[in-house]
Amino acid sequence: MEILIIFSIMLILMALKVPVAFSMATSATVALLLKGVPLMLVPQRMFTALDSFPLLAIPLFIFVGQAMNTGGITDKIFNFARVYVRHIKGSLGHVNVIASIIFAGMSGSAVADTSGLGLVEIKAMNEDGFDPEFSAAITAASSTIGPIIPPSIPLVIYAVIAEQSVGRLFLGGVIPGLLMGLALMVYVYVISKKRGYKVEPRATFKERINATIAAIPSLLTPVLLLSGIVFGIVTPTEGAAIAAIYALFLGFIIHKELTLKDLYKMLLSTASSTATILIIISSASIITWVILSSDMPAIVAKTIFSVTNNKYLILFIVNIILLILGCFMEGTSIIMIMVPVLLPIMKMLNVDLVHFGVFLVLNVMIGLITPPVGMCLYIVSKIAGISFERTSKAIIPFIIALIVVLFLITYVPEFVTFLPNLIMDK
């Protein structure tokens, strides 16, 4: 009964365009009042949800992304990718994907990728003769790789809720992220050949050497960040702090493109983005509390297993549910609400929880580029100067490509578990 009340009120408030966090907090609070739970427990519960050391990595990852975008690092990443693949059919479309893969190892945020690299990528692609809707669509689609390849803000949130190793989750996202990039590049090649998009001349050896030397300091960022986390030298939060300091070093000392004024703006933007994520986490934690106290996970599991015991069919149903939710809900909310519900089912199916975390986050990322809510679609549409409808139409083939990868990693868990087992089980 409480769950029905929560979701009914939440959907009504969201339809009235009340912010997601306030919709969740209000609906859960009403349900608790009807149960006679003292209101004083609500803020206590919200605070407890944020009292987690790994969550401190979130503002640091966001700050690294801000520093990369502001400090001129995105240009160097784009140029590095450009000199190696610009001669292949699809040219800057491939550059777009590869640049996103590299940027993914620094930021962990799809929105940071879209708003940072997107400015460079869309402008260059339009100047090179690509259709603006195609440029916008590939930019949005490739940005979803950001939170899959480590570091990843959504994977940190999942790790806290599911009590899983952040290092294992980060390693688990590497191969799926590369598969996403490959799938997008295959489609870019096919559509570029069909439409006759031109290719740029092959870069000279000297151009490649110069671009590589210019990019090496930036390319060391993910190495510094991930090596320490994976090998247990530092925690994810400490690794994020090191990456943030290194990003400032690059911006102020190496590239000399950051100013104190830029730093002030970066800190403000980081604080704003962090506050948005944390208020959603704290608000969703109240709903999670109600869900767990109402025994909803057991009820859902019992209902599903009464229909079918087939593991593959259940995983298919779970993916479809998550994809549908991604069309209408913000990603952090989905993770906070659905993980406590689905975790018991995954355990009953003997699904590796690192595997579950990665394909859950991939579902959420696809939601970022799926109408009508798709945050990244709105950003790239604004950058490209085209309507949301044009971008939404152009993104469909890319969504299909990503869904193919989603089901591939869902049914072949070794794509996720191979690296964590190889490196961290020694």
* pLDDT at 252 exceeding the cut of 80: yes
**Longest Cα–Cα distance in the chain:** 73
**Gap between the Cα atoms of 169 and 104, Å rounded:** 15
352-373 pLDDT per residue, tens: 999 999 999 999 999 889 887 7
Smallest Cα–Cα separation from 88: which of 180, 177, 186, 176? 186
Q: Which of 389, 69, 388, 80 is nearest to 247 (CA)?
A: 69
Provide the strand spans (E) within 119-226: none
Which pLDDT band holds residue 383 (cuts at 50, 70, 90)?
A: confident
Distances from the Cα of 103 to the Cα of 77, 121, 165, 314, 333, angstroms = 8, 13, 23, 34, 25
pLDDT reading at 1 higher than 70: no
What are the residue ranges spanned by the domains of the chain? 57-424
Look up the pTM and report it.
0.88
Residue 189 has pLDDT above 90, yes or no: yes
Helix/strand/coil for 38:
coil
| C-alpha span between 350 and 225 (Å, rounded) | 31
**Residue 391: pLDDT band by 50, 70, 90 thresholds?**
very high
Distances (CA, A) of 362 to 37, 214, 379, 391: 36, 32, 19, 21
Nearest to 98 by CA among 226, 184, 175: 184
* Gap between the Cα atoms of 184 and 149, Å rounded: 15
pLDDT digits (tens, 9 = 90+) for 34-67: 888 888 888 888 888 888 888 888 888 888 888 8
